[in-house]
Amino acid sequence: MSFRQLSSEEEKLEEQVWACWEAFLYTMQDASEFVSVQTPVITQTLEDTYQVSWLLNLSNCTCSSSMVSTRSLLWNKLYVMHCISEEE
C-alpha cells in the first residue's frame, strides 16, 4: 500500500494535529498525577471533617444522666484530635 505525498498545507495540518495530540497527552498525564496525589489528601480531609462534625453534633445533644460519661469521653477524644491536628 502506498500513500501519496502530502501537500504543504496538509503537512502543516498534520504537524498541528500532532502538537495538539502531544499537548493533550501531557495534560492527561498531569491530571492523572494530580488525581493520584490529591485523592488521598482530600479523602482524609473529608473523613476528618465528618468525624469532627459528627462528634460535635453528638456531644451537643441533650443527654440523660447515663450518657454523661459517654459525652465526656467524646469531648476528650475531640480534644485529643484537635491537639494532634495542631502538631501537624
Structure confidence by residue, pLDDT tens digits, 13-40: 999 999 999 999 999 999 999 989 888 8
User: What is the structure's pLDDT at 73?
Assistant: 62
Whether residue 41 is predicted with pLDDT greater than 70 in this model: the reply is yes
Residue 9 predicted with pLDDT over 90: yes
* 6 within 8 A of 14, measured Cβ to Cβ: yes
Which grid cell sits at 25?
497527552
pLDDT tops 70 at residue 86: no
| Short-list 19, 20, 17, 24, CA closest to 6 | 17
Average pLDDT taken over every residue of the chain: 77
**Phi/psi of residue 64, nearest 5 degrees:** -75, 170
**Which residues, including other chains, have CB under 8 Å from residue 63's CB and lie 6 or more apart?**
70, 71
